[in-house]
Amino acid sequence: MIDYIRDGAEIYRHSFATIRDEADLAILPDDIAGVAVRMIHSCGMVDLVDDLAYTLEVVEAGRAALEAGAPILCDANMIASGVTRKRLPANNEVLCTLSDERVPGLAERLGTTRSAAALELWRDRLPGSVVAIGNAPTALFRLLELLEEGVGAPAAIIGVPVGFVGAVESKELLIERAPAPYLVVRGRRGGSALAVGAVNAIASKEEV
Amino acid sequence: MIDYIRDGAEIYRHSFATIRDEADLAILPDDIAGVAVRMIHSCGMVDLVDDLAYTLEVVEAGRAALEAGAPILCDANMIASGVTRKRLPANNEVLCTLSDERVPGLAERLGTTRSAAALELWRDRLPGSVVAIGNAPTALFRLLELLEEGVGAPAAIIGVPVGFVGAVESKELLIERAPAPYLVVRGRRGGSALAVGAVNAIASKEEV
């Protein structure tokens, strides 16, 4: 037998204690710090704090929306798969439309990526929702376009698309336009795990 | 309309060209470099190369196994969700046993995490498989224990568990024992997206 910690709750406690010890959380409001801890936990990098940008009300607004039954709209199936259902306060719907059979046709007609085209199927659900974009910069760009067109704003936007083309720019545009409360990881870093960490933290105050 | 690149194939090409321009891939064998590109693409960090450790045959062995129909065994549902099915050469099974109804009871009986207990249900499938551990260090520790017990070795192990308790140690132990061809991201970094990037790269030589 190899010697390692096998108690899940103890692993969580150790992990969160290490993060709180090493990460520069003092610069963050308490509720944002709670979200940062789970995001750091999901990626192993305490310097993620340096790239966080947010509006002060994003956690409160997102949590209130979920408590009132709002859906969680995700740009990637991995995010929908990763959200911990037992943390959701109202058995909330977790929706990713990327695999909908209408999406390839929509993408062709609109001349865009499938990730962006999938947001056409969000229009009715967007107002008051919690949006989690953790993969495609084009999805975040398209979200900003839809809101500019007049589609009702979500309650909170987790904006953590990742990568080398459009990730930086889409997140900076979200910060600049701020059409709704948001939480962003500036720069190229991002991804489904960070989106899931943020959603799971906003969904419930419980750390473990 | 916001000005951004909407052509998915062009986004991939730009992204991969940027990664190949910025990342220090020259130190890697060609096939490992191909995997590194997709892993970097999934996390936005070109310095991931510095933490890669691998056996020279891991890509060839993993690809041959998949071409022969081997299953992909994952420690997290997010990984199973993220593997691109159309890249798989033999319509391979992608299996995560974490949500199996027997797992909570197994975890209690074995005194370990659910992530580690879920591997009890891999025993018959492990020999010759492709293993992708991208979440729980305890799953990687448990894998090493099973192999030490005499369970047949997988064809390739993607070992990228993430975090602050056991991630570093489990990956160093995998490198030390090397019970099968492996690819590891040393240190705390890891996660489902990196595991998916590696599996998708091993599954097919096609970059886009």
Q: Encode pLDDT of B6-49 as tens digits.
A: 999 999 999 999 999 999 999 999 999 999 999 999 999 999 99
**Could you tell me what percentage of chain B is helix, strand and coil, using 3-state DSSP and rounding each to the nearest 5?**
55, 10, 35
Report, in angstroms and rounded to the nearest whole number, the Rg of chain B calculated over CA atoms.
17
Mean pLDDT of chain A: 97
Mutation target to probe the A interface, by most A beta carbons within 10 A, among B110, B144, B165 is B165
CA distance B205 to B110: 40
pLDDT digit string, tens, across residues B112-164: 999 999 999 999 999 999 999 999 999 999 999 999 999 999 999 999 999 99
Q: Respond yes or no: is residue A41 known to be catalytic.
A: yes
Question: In this structure, is residue A78 part of a structural domain?
Answer: yes
Question: In this structure, is residue B64 part of a structural domain?
Answer: yes
Question: In this structure, is residue B150 part of a structural domain?
Answer: yes
Q: B117 to chain A: which residues are within 8 Å by CB?
A: none
CATH code, domain with A160: 3.40.50.10230
Q: Which domain holds residue A126?
A: 50-203
pLDDT confidence bin for B207, thresholds 50/70/90: confident
Mutation target to probe the B interface, by most B beta carbons within 10 A, among A81, A147, A185 is A81
Question: In this structure, is residue A10 part of a structural domain?
Answer: no
Question: In this structure, is residue B123 part of a structural domain?
Answer: yes
Given a contact cutoff of 8 angstroms between Cβ atoms, the answer to whether A88 and A203 are in contact is yes
Question: In this structure, is residue A74 part of a structural domain?
Answer: yes
The average pLDDT across A157-184 equals 98
Question: In this structure, is residue A148 part of a structural domain?
Answer: yes
| pLDDT at position A101 over 80 | yes
Q: A111 to chain B: which residues are within 8 Å by CB?
A: 6
Number of domains in chain B: 1
| pLDDT at position A33 over 80 | yes
CA distance A14 to B155: 33
Return the ∠ at Cα A151 (arms to A148 and A157), rounded to 5°.
80
Q: A185 to chain B: which residues are within 8 Å by CB?
A: none
H-state helical runs in B111-136: 114-117
Q: What is the pTM of this model?
A: 0.97
Residue B206 has a pLDDT of 87
Residue B60 has a pLDDT of 98
Question: In this structure, is residue B208 part of a structural domain?
Answer: no
Given a contact cutoff of 8 angstroms between Cβ atoms, the answer to whether A95 and A70 are in contact is no
Catalytic residue of the set B41, B114, B142, B171: B41
Distance from CA of B27 to the nearest CA of A (A): 22
CA distance A10 to A5: 8
- What residue of A is the nearest CA neighbor of B187? A44
